[in-house]
Structure 1
Amino acid sequence: MTELAPSTPVQSTSRLVDVSALTDVIASSSKVPLEQLVKPNSQRYLSDLTTYGLQDLLSEPTILQTQSHHLTSSLTSLTHTSYPTFLSLHQTTNALTTSLTSLSTSLDSLLTSSLPALEESAAGWKDRTESVLKERSKARVVLEQHEKIRDLLEIPILIDTCVRNGYFAEALSLVSHANALAANASSSKKTAPLILSSVLSEVHHSIMQMLLSLLSTLYEPNRKLPALWKAVNFLRKMDVFGPSSPFASAPLHLKSLVTSPETEKLLEPIGDVISSEEQIALAFLVGRESCLKSTLESSGGDISRMTTHGGLDDREKEDLARYLKKFIDLWREGVYDVITQYSSIFLEKSSTTTSHSPAKTYPVAADSPISTTTATREWTHLYTLITTYASRALTTYLIPALSPSLSLLSMSLLPSLLTQLTYCSTAFARVGLDFRGILSTLFSQAVTKIIINEMHTETEKFISRFKIPASVSASSHSRNINGTGKSKWDPLPAKWLITAATVTLPPVPITPATPAAPTFAQSPPHIPPQILASYPPLAEFTNAMLSILNGLRLLAPTSILPTLSRMLDDEVLAKCGQAIDVYVKAFCNDLDGEEDILRSRVNGNTSDEDSDESEKQRRVIMAFGQVYFGILVPFVRRALVEGVYGVKLDASFEHAGELLPTVVMDWQDYVLEQEEESEESGSGDES
């Protein structure tokens, strides 16, 4: 509060020093708080009031009010004009207060924790900075050798790039450079730097990728000689199978290389230890073998599916023949390529090495007359490998495909396959693989099976026509006549065994029925006797046999003649003869029994009509048997032996069957018995 001077110059001479009583009076009589009155300025003003006169005291309120209004107006004006300054002053004051508080806290933390930690860090500065200085020294050395290190680190990347793009020679040069750096580092009697070991490890990985790439080339189909030659040459340069190679363990024994039965079979003729060149040759053959197998898989699957199917119709036989031709072509191309490629890559190089390189001999016994050179021994082993592979390719793929398939074909399809295989064998003969001897055996067996199956089929078909009725017993003479008069033999022999034009007078052979009747000795073996046309079953059977033999004429191996001749005699003609013999005897015995029954029913006599009918049936069926044994049997035998093979069928022929003569003799005995009975019956009728 501002002190105000009295308006008059009159001054009181007395001043109260202690104005506490006056303060209490004013506080009790006014609304001014006591705290305002006890302040020093208020006390000093109250003390000054005691020196005023009455007039000054009376005018003092007005003066104070006037000054109050004046001050209020000034403050209001100051507030309106300088309020930004007040606000800024307030903010600055608050910020200063906060900063001072934070400064005080920071100073406390500095004194209590930071300064002791700084003092401790300063004490261990040398120990902590020593390792850092060493690292900085190493970094400085690396920085100084930056160009050399960068070149060293780029070696694996460059090798990998060269391998992926096929620049194998450049990759091998980089490998040699890396090995030289490693050799220099080891020769300096210092431990090889870790970075060099890491680079060598990456180089080893890249060169392994190169090895896999070269080996995979050997497994790729349709690869020609230049690509395979390149792959094998780089495998030689890499020396991946040699004793000094990091990829091979020493000593190299075959047992460590055998990974499959196929590889084991290829290695059988070589021995126990093989050279690097022989191992590369083995890898080449295994790779090309895999390509050949994948090439033949499709056609081989079709052939296997057809052969396991069993019996084939004509359309399926043609399909099987087409599959076989395709398989043979693929096998010929694949195996011929492997043999010629192998010979060009390994045998020609080995033969050149044998003739020009100095000989290094293996240790041999002192008493051994011959010491084999290393090159000659290696060439011999390489040649053994390809010959073993060629034989295995023949016995593993071609022969197993042909053996079960040829016998399922028809005879008309075999000659073209034999021609194709003959040309194939002739082509392979130029490279030392002539398998025409195997073809002879294969096709002989196939022709034998086909002819035997076809003859068996026709035989069963022919025999099935001579069925004896179930109500007829060939050993019993007690017969029953059907009430309707219908014969149990339906149809009767005269209805189906002979033509209607010749039923009244059946043609029969003039000479006795023998396997080689003299009547037909001079007749052409390929023209059937005209008499067979009078008997439809025999004509059909003869045509069927001639069709089979005509198919045999297309491909008739001479080695199977004895087998076919015996089979024709015993399995075809003899069985058919037995069926006819049984059928004829059963019919005649049944016919005799019926005549006896008729005679007993008509007082011992039969009618002329019945007798004529029985005699006609007997005459037809006996003539049928005589024509079969006397005409058909010798003709079919001559058609095979003389017509197909051109061998004279006479007494000197050694390959006749054993069962057929017995069957023929049984039939001749029965014919003689029937003739004797007929003569006795005729003499009895005359008497």
Structure 2
Amino acid sequence: MEFNDKNDLENERVLKLIFPDGLPDNLRGNPELDNYLAKLGTCKVEQLKKEQTRLADETKRILEQTQDLAISNYKTFITTAENSRSIFNEFQKAEEQVDTLIGKLPTFSGKCEQFLKDSSELTEQRRLNSITLQKNAQLLEILELPQLMERCIREGRYEEALELAAYVQKLGQHQGHLIPVVNSIVRSVEALWHTMLVQLVAQLRTDLQLPKCLQIVGYLRRMQAFGDNELKLKFLQARDAWLNGCLDSISTNDAQQHLTKTIEITRINLFNIITQYRAIFPDEEGLGKLASLKPLQGVSCNGDRLFQAWLHNKINAFLLTLETDLERGVNSIETVLGQCMYFGLSFSRVGADFRALMAPIFVRVIRNKFSASIGQVNAQFEQELDKFTLINKVTLHTRKPLVNESEVESYAPPETLLDFYPLAALCNGYLNAMNELRLCAPLAVATDVTQCLQQSLQQVAQRVLAYYRQEQQAFTATERETFVKLCSCLAYDLVPYVQRCIHGVFPPQSLTVHLGISLLQLEQQQLTYLEQTQILEPLKHLLPAKIVLQATTTAAAAAPLDNNMNISVEG
């Protein structure tokens, strides 16, 4: 080591002597330089003196050889130079491309890493697809659950639809939060579940028998969409809509037909609904004990009151229809009354006998109808009296005294009325109204009928008095006598006959049994008795001495009136 260091030091000294300005750059690191310096170290002085000349000659010789070589091989040198230039350019391009490649290597590396990652995911997906292909049959069964449930609902197989809905619900609880497809299936089935609910409720609005009704409500209970009270409310709303639809389909052109159909449809269908309700909700308490059938106000949605409120509402609606149609006018009130009483009686089996609510309606309608008929009779009497004259009136019939009770009980109109057309027409009007009344004559209207006839006869007497005051100055002796006979016929024939007819329609015996009083008390209280003195008060100064004025006895009304009790009057 020390020897090498010493040689290096000597070589540096020699180099400084040879190159005082410093070693040229082209000689730095040249291994031949050390060998040449070592060779110089072995040369003698004479050799060193000749070394420079030798080097100059050798340089000249090499230069000449080089020139000769270049001259003889100039094409090679040109080609070499061109190749060198081309190679240099290619190396520059290669260097630039290498630099570009180096710049793109990080991106390429990232792409490669991403490709590795994607390829691993694809591999995983391929593995999952393979597993899916193996489980294809089971997956199809799950994916087709919504279509299967829709088909079950469409075909009415609700039992299977409920089982599918329960299965999907359990599946969603276990896998819905993990698998989006399962969650989507659950949502689809829930939508179909609501469709089935709407369809079942809609079926309650159709004509159903009890077994089908029980089945549908059973499905609704299993679906648990409604509470117990809500289910009752939905059931009553649906059946009410169906019943209203049946009633709305009845033609309203004819009041009699509309009312008859309404009674029949309401009685049958309402009773069926009550039977269905009691079979479906047997725990209902107090259903058979309806204390009152008045409209309920502010009824809460409690199970034990809901049905009662609904039934009250339907009965009130029927009573409103009954009153409306009766006021419109029906051909046969007695037929409607019989149907209504049977209707109310049949509902006594479910504790809803409402016959007592219909009675006031019939009484009111019958009373109003009779009053309207009597009003028309009075108007007609005024018209006939205005056209009536006493000129050339000959009395063809004479009054005969009543000799026995059979004549008192006779309901044939007095023949004396034929002499006076206004009184005969008035009697005909009374008989028509009473014959129509007696077909359906409730005892509750007996007093009203009597009062109506009492007022009518008073108006007749007032109108006759007005006629007298208007025409008396022009009366001849014969006309005055005829007018007195007219007043006598009104007072002693028509008024007692009307009294007998009243008792023919409302027999006193029936009234006494109904009221629990005696015949004497009935007469004392003037029930179904006309106040003849009050009726004849305006004409008392025109009436002759009474020949026979025998009040109708209480026994004079045992037989009903004859349908053909009209007087034949010649114009």
TM-score range, shorter chain: 0.5 to 0.7
1:282 equivalent among 233, 241, 255? 233
Using the TM superposition, give the Cα deviation of residue 457 of structure 1 relative to its aligned residue in structure 2, in angstroms.
0.6
The structure-2 alpha-carbon separation of the partners of 1:140 and 1:586, relative to structure 1 and needing over 3 Å to count, comes to: same
1:493 equivalent among 386, 390, 410? 390
Using the TM superposition, give the Cα deviation of residue 120 of structure 1 relative to its aligned residue in structure 2, in angstroms.
7.3
2:513 aligned residue? none
2:541 equivalent among 662, 665, 669? 669
Pair 1:201-2:187 in alignment = yes
Pair 1:564-2:449 in alignment = yes
1:601-620 to 2 correspondences below 5 Å: 614-620=476-482
Contact kept in structure 1, 2:461 and 2:538, CA below 8 Å? no
Pair 1:578-2:462 in alignment = yes
1:173 equivalent among 140, 163, 173? 163
Separation in 1, partners of 2:345, 2:102: 103
1:419 aligned residue? 338
Q: What's the secondary structure of 1:493's corresponding residue?
A: coil
Contact kept in structure 1, 2:377 and 2:429, CA below 8 Å? yes
Contact kept in structure 2, 1:569 and 1:656, CA below 8 Å? no
1:235 aligned residue? 220
Contact kept in structure 1, 2:523 and 2:529, CA below 8 Å? no
1:137 aligned residue? 124
Using the TM superposition, give the Cα deviation of residue 671 of structure 1 relative to its aligned residue in structure 2, in angstroms.
4.0
TM-score by length of 1: 0.56
The structure-2 alpha-carbon separation of the partners of 1:219 and 1:632, relative to structure 1 and needing over 3 Å to count, comes to: same
Separation in 2, partners of 1:541, 1:149: 95
Separation in 1, partners of 2:326, 2:449: 18
Separation in 2, partners of 1:438, 1:350: 25
Contact kept in structure 2, 1:567 and 1:657, CA below 8 Å? no
1:332 aligned residue? 267
Separation in 2, partners of 1:427, 1:159: 44
Pair 1:214-2:214 in alignment = no
1:624 aligned residue? 486
Separation in 2, partners of 1:115, 1:523: 143
1:265 aligned residue? none
The C-alpha deviation readout for 1:512-566, integer Å capped at 9, x for no partner, is xxxxx99999712623223223323222221221121112111111111111111
TM-score by length of 2: 0.66
Contact kept in structure 2, 1:569 and 1:637, CA below 8 Å? no
Separation in 1, partners of 2:212, 2:107: 70
Pair 1:407-2:327 in alignment = yes
Pair 1:153-2:143 in alignment = yes
The structure-2 alpha-carbon separation of the partners of 1:577 and 1:239, relative to structure 1 and needing over 3 Å to count, comes to: same
The structure-2 alpha-carbon separation of the partners of 1:583 and 1:428, relative to structure 1 and needing over 3 Å to count, comes to: same
2:23 aligned residue? none
The C-alpha deviation readout for 1:370-423, integer Å capped at 9, x for no partner, is xxxxxxxxxx95453333222211112x2121102213435x611111112222
Contact kept in structure 2, 1:214 and 1:235, CA below 8 Å? yes
The one-letter amino acid of 2:325's match is: S
Contact kept in structure 2, 1:574 and 1:659, CA below 8 Å? no
1:553 aligned residue? 438
Using the TM superposition, give the Cα deviation of residue 454 of structure 1 relative to its aligned residue in structure 2, in angstroms.
0.9
1:541 aligned residue? 426
Separation in 1, partners of 2:405, 2:471: 30
Contact kept in structure 1, 2:414 and 2:493, CA below 8 Å? yes
The one-letter amino acid of 2:434's match is: L
Separation in 1, partners of 2:220, 2:388: 84
The structure-2 alpha-carbon separation of the partners of 1:659 and 1:178, relative to structure 1 and needing over 3 Å to count, comes to: same
2:291 aligned residue? none
The one-letter amino acid of 2:215's match is: K
The structure-2 alpha-carbon separation of the partners of 1:404 and 1:184, relative to structure 1 and needing over 3 Å to count, comes to: closer
The structure-2 alpha-carbon separation of the partners of 1:659 and 1:137, relative to structure 1 and needing over 3 Å to count, comes to: farther
Contact kept in structure 1, 2:484 and 2:544, CA below 8 Å? no
Q: What's the secondary structure of 2:150's corresponding residue?
A: helix
The structure-2 alpha-carbon separation of the partners of 1:660 and 1:139, relative to structure 1 and needing over 3 Å to count, comes to: farther
Pair 1:654-2:534 in alignment = no
Using the TM superposition, give the Cα deviation of residue 580 of structure 1 relative to its aligned residue in structure 2, in angstroms.
0.8
Separation in 2, partners of 1:350, 1:665: 66
Pair 1:291-2:242 in alignment = yes
The one-letter amino acid of 1:202's match is: S
- Give ranges in structure 2 of 5+ residues lacking alignment: 1-96, 286-300, 509-518, 546-571
Using the TM superposition, give the Cα deviation of residue 444 of structure 1 relative to its aligned residue in structure 2, in angstroms.
1.0
Q: What's the secondary structure of 1:492's corresponding residue?
A: coil
1:513-528 to 2 correspondences below 5 Å: 523-524=408-409, 526-528=411-413
Using the TM superposition, give the Cα deviation of residue 234 of structure 1 relative to its aligned residue in structure 2, in angstroms.
0.8
The structure-2 alpha-carbon separation of the partners of 1:139 and 1:154, relative to structure 1 and needing over 3 Å to count, comes to: farther
What RMSD over aligned residues (CA atoms) do the two structures have, in Å?
Answer: 3.6
The structure-2 alpha-carbon separation of the partners of 1:578 and 1:525, relative to structure 1 and needing over 3 Å to count, comes to: farther
The structure-2 alpha-carbon separation of the partners of 1:430 and 1:337, relative to structure 1 and needing over 3 Å to count, comes to: same
Separation in 1, partners of 2:113, 2:380: 112
1:100 aligned residue? none
Q: What's the secondary structure of 1:465's corresponding residue?
A: helix
Contact kept in structure 2, 1:414 and 1:555, CA below 8 Å? yes
Contact kept in structure 1, 2:484 and 2:542, CA below 8 Å? no
Using the TM superposition, give the Cα deviation of residue 172 of structure 1 relative to its aligned residue in structure 2, in angstroms.
2.1
1:430 aligned residue? 349
Using the TM superposition, give the Cα deviation of residue 439 of structure 1 relative to its aligned residue in structure 2, in angstroms.
2.3
Contact kept in structure 2, 1:584 and 1:625, CA below 8 Å? no
Using the TM superposition, give the Cα deviation of residue 631 of structure 1 relative to its aligned residue in structure 2, in angstroms.
1.6
The C-alpha deviation readout for 1:122-155, integer Å capped at 9, x for no partner, is 3332353325633552453354245254333222
The structure-2 alpha-carbon separation of the partners of 1:553 and 1:132, relative to structure 1 and needing over 3 Å to count, comes to: farther
The one-letter amino acid of 1:644's match is: V
Contact kept in structure 2, 1:508 and 1:626, CA below 8 Å? no
Separation in 2, partners of 1:552, 1:140: 97
The one-letter amino acid of 2:211's match is: P
Separation in 2, partners of 1:585, 1:520: 38
The C-alpha deviation readout for 1:95-128, integer Å capped at 9, x for no partner, is xxxxxxxxxxxxxxxx99x999986763332353
Q: What's the secondary structure of 2:384's corresponding residue?
A: coil
